[in-house]
């Protein structure tokens, strides 16, 4: 159903209903709409218009309530053609500019962006971690730990440092680990990470019969060091508890399923992957996200990059009755400022 078949009166009443429901989370009755919309019509006319909107699928009457609430379709019409987006407050812009400082590493910037999205929007904020292939290897160090464990310190691009622990197939002395790191740094420093790993794997395959066991073990060590570990974070979520602050009793029950989705990651990652291929701000309302767990929530996202390519996506997750006119510019400005910081 396209918006042009709805009268201006119906559009004004739907806008009023959505704004009131966003404000207090309760079904909105005809008498309230009559008072807030300021239309010179009778309560009976209001009821007729709302019945028509309900038949078209824009609003529903929950339970036996006399009032109505917007559907995902109603929110979509509101966001697409009735919403008046507000410029982001100067105070929030200043906070973003100060915290998204180009002197920080990419990891620190991602953590900051997630927390800022949450605190400024009062919803949950999330940022996908930049993919490793966007970086270049600067330096690697191997330090022995107990047993067959080795601490790997990776310096990527100019400032980003990653630490991880790997389990080796054979024991290494401190001297052997130092020599292995020197070999990797001498041969591969300054090259893109995926190129480095591809070359190491090629050498392991082609030279298996021609190199000694120590060199084979060294290449295996380097391959493990550069491999993305399965347990590594793929996105950072901040402020889940904020979703509880203004939740109704019904919403609190549904939040448990959403928190489980944060832990499971799969559905959310699929959604975010779609967003990285889009331009600008994307708004997914309820079931538009494609997953049942998001049925009562909206996801607002925007991609970010380093000026040359898209590195990931950031966004806000909150109830469908969130303040879209404020959250949309928060997401938009944060993505632009994170991109600016990463490009420097």
- pLDDT for 135 equals 72
Specify the CATH number for the domain of residue 205.
3.30.390.60
- Which structural domain range is residue 15 located in? 3-82
Of residues 149 and 19, the one with the higher pLDDT is 19
Examine the domain organization and report whether 169 and 238 are in the same domain.
Answer: no
Specify the CATH number for the domain of residue 329.
3.30.450.40
Domain edge (last residue) among 187, 207, 226: 226
Examine the domain organization and report whether 171 and 240 are in the same domain.
Answer: no
Question: Residue 251's CB: how many other CB atoms inside 10 A?
Answer: 18
Looking at the chain, which runs of residues are DSSP E strands? 59-60, 69-70, 124-128, 137-144, 149-156, 160-167, 235-238, 282-285, 297-305, 310-319
Examine the domain organization and report whether 217 and 315 are in the same domain.
Answer: no
- pLDDT for 223 equals 81
As a whole number of angstroms, the distance between CA 186 and CA 194 comes to 17
Q: With bands split at pLDDT 50, 70 and 90, how would you rate the model's confidence at 203?
A: confident
Domain edge (last residue) among 163, 196, 226: 226
Please say if the pLDDT value at position 231 is more than 50: no
Examine the domain organization and report whether 194 and 315 are in the same domain.
Answer: no
Examine the domain organization and report whether 246 and 339 are in the same domain.
Answer: yes
For residue 74, give both structure tokens. 């109603």
Examine the domain organization and report whether 239 and 338 are in the same domain.
Answer: yes
Name the packing angle between helices 106-121 and 324-343 (round to 10°). 170
As a whole number of angstroms, the distance between CA 48 and CA 265 comes to 44
Examine the domain organization and report whether 116 and 192 are in the same domain.
Answer: no
Examine the domain organization and report whether 180 and 325 are in the same domain.
Answer: no
As a whole number of angstroms, the distance between CA 35 and CA 30 comes to 9
Cβ(137)–Cβ(193) below 8 Å: yes
Quote the number of domains for the chain: 3
As a whole number of angstroms, the distance between CA 12 and CA 66 comes to 20
Q: Any residues with CB less than 8 A from the CB of 3 and at least 6 apart, and which?
A: 11, 77, 80, 81
Domain edge (last residue) among 203, 226, 249: 226
Examine the domain organization and report whether 206 and 267 are in the same domain.
Answer: no
Please say if the pLDDT value at position 174 is more than 80: yes
Examine the domain organization and report whether 105 and 237 are in the same domain.
Answer: yes
- pLDDT for 73 equals 94
Mean pLDDT computed over 188-204: 81
Specify the CATH number for the domain of residue 18.
1.10.10.10
Kindly report the average pLDDT of the chain as a whole number: 85
Q: Is the pTM of this model over 0.85?
A: no
In the chain, the percentage of residues whose pLDDT exceeds 90 is 37
């Amino acid at each position: 159903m396209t918006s042009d078949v709805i009268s201006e009166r119906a559009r004004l009443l739907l806008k009023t209903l959505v704004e009131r429901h966003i404000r207090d989370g309760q079904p909105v009755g005809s008498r309230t709409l009559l008072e807030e919309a300021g239309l010179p019509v009778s309560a009976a006319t209001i009821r007729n218009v709302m019945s028509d909107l309900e038949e078209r699928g824009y609003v529903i009457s929950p339970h036996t309530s006399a009032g109505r609430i917007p559907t995902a379709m109603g929110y979509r019409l509101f966001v697409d053609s009735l919403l008046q987006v507000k410029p982001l407050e100067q105070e929030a812009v200043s906070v973003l500019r100060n915290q998204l400082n180009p002197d920080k590493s990419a990891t620190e910037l991602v953590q900051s962006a997630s927390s800022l999205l949450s605190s400024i929007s009062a919803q949950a904020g999330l940022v996908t971690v930049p993919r490793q292939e966007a970086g270049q290897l600067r330096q690697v160090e191997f330090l022995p730990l107990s047993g067959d464990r080795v601490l790997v310190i990776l310096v990527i691009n100019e400032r980003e440092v990653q630490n991880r622990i790997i389990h080796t197939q054979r024991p290494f002395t401190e001297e052997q680990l130092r020599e292995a790191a020197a070999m990797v740094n001498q041969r591969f420093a300054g090259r893109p990470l995926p190129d480095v790993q591809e070359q190491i794997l090629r050498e392991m395959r082609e030279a298996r019969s021609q190199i000694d066991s120590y060199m084979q073990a060294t290449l295996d060590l380097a391959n493990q060091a550069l491999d993305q570990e399965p347990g590594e974070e793929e996105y950072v979520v901040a402020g889940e508890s904020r979703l509880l602050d203004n939740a109704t009793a019904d919403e609190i029950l549904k939040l448990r399923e959403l928190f489980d989705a944060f832990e499971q990651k799969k559905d959310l990652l699929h959604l975010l992957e779609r967003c990285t291929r889009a331009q600008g701000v994307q708004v997914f309302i309820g079931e538009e996200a494609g997953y049942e767990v998001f049925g009562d929530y909206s996801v607002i996202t925007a991609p970010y990059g380093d000026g040359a390519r898209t590195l990931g996506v950031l966004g806000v997750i909150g109830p469908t009755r969130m303040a879209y006119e404020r959250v949309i510019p928060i997401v938009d400005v944060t993505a632009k400022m994170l991109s600016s910081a990463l490009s420097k």
